[in-house]
Structure 1
Amino acid sequence: MSIQAAQDFRQQTNASPALQAEVARHFNNGSIDYAALAELGRKHGHDFSAEDAVAVLSTPSDELSDFEMELVSGGIIMPSYMSTKHNRPMGG
C-alpha cells in the first residue's frame, strides 16, 4: 500500500473528467467512502489503502484542483485530520 499511489491517483483524477465522475459518487451527504476510493484506485492501477486515501486527503494543500473545489463548494469538505474510519461524516 502506498501514499504515493494515492497521490498519483489524485493527480490522475484531477486530469480526467470521466474519472472525476466516478470519484464523485463516493462523496455523499458530507461523507467520503475511503474504501471505495481505494478500490477505484486499484481498478485504475494505483494500489493504496483506505488509510492512505485518508492521509492524502487530510494533508493540507495550498492549491485545490477545480474538481476538488467543486466538491468543497458542494458541501463536501476535505478532512482536516487523520482517521481510519472508512465511511464517516465529515467534521465529526
Structure 2
Amino acid sequence: MSIQAAQAFRQQTNTSPALQAEVARHVSNGTIDYAALAELGRKHGHDFTAEDAVTVLSAPSDELSDFEMELVSGGTLIPPQFSKRDRPMGG
C-alpha cells in the first residue's frame, strides 16, 4: 500500500479512456468512493488504500487533470467531515 501506487494508478487512469469510464462509475455529485477506487486500483495492479488515494488527490500543489476536472465540475463537493468513505475529489 503506498502513495506511489496511487500516483501510478492516477497516471494510468489519465491516459486510459477505458479506465476513466471505470473510475467515473465511482463518482457521484462531485464525490468519489475512495474505497472502491482503491479496489479498482488493485484490480489493475496498484496496491494502495483509500487514504492513499485521498492523499494523492488532495495534495495542495497538485493540479487535476482534464478528466478529473470533468468528474468534479458537474456537482457540489461534499466536505470530508461529512463522510469518511466518500470525500471530495481534489480537496
CA deviation map 1:24-69 (0-9, x unaligned): 1111123211100000000000000011011111112453221012
Q: Which amino acid aligns with 1:86?
A: R
Aligned to 2:49: 49
Query: 1:30/1:72 Cα in 2 relative to 1: closer, same or farther (>3 Å)?
Result: closer
Cα RMSD of the aligned pairs, angstroms, is: 2.7
8 Å CA contact 2:38, 2:49 repeated in 1:
yes
TM-score by length of 1: 0.80
Equivalent in the alignment of 2:85: 86
Percent identity between the two aligned chains? 85
Regions of 4+ moved over 3 Å: none
Q: Which moved more, 1:44-53 or 1:65-74?
A: 65-74
Q: How many residues align?
A: 88
Structure 1: segments with no counterpart, 5+ residues? none
TM-score by length of 2: 0.81
| Residue aligning to 1:4 | 4
CA deviation after TM superposition for structure 1 residue 20, in Å: 0.3
Structure 2 CA distance for partners of 1:16 and 1:61, relative to 1, 3 Å:
farther
- In 1: Cα distance, 2:62 partner to 2:51 partner: 22
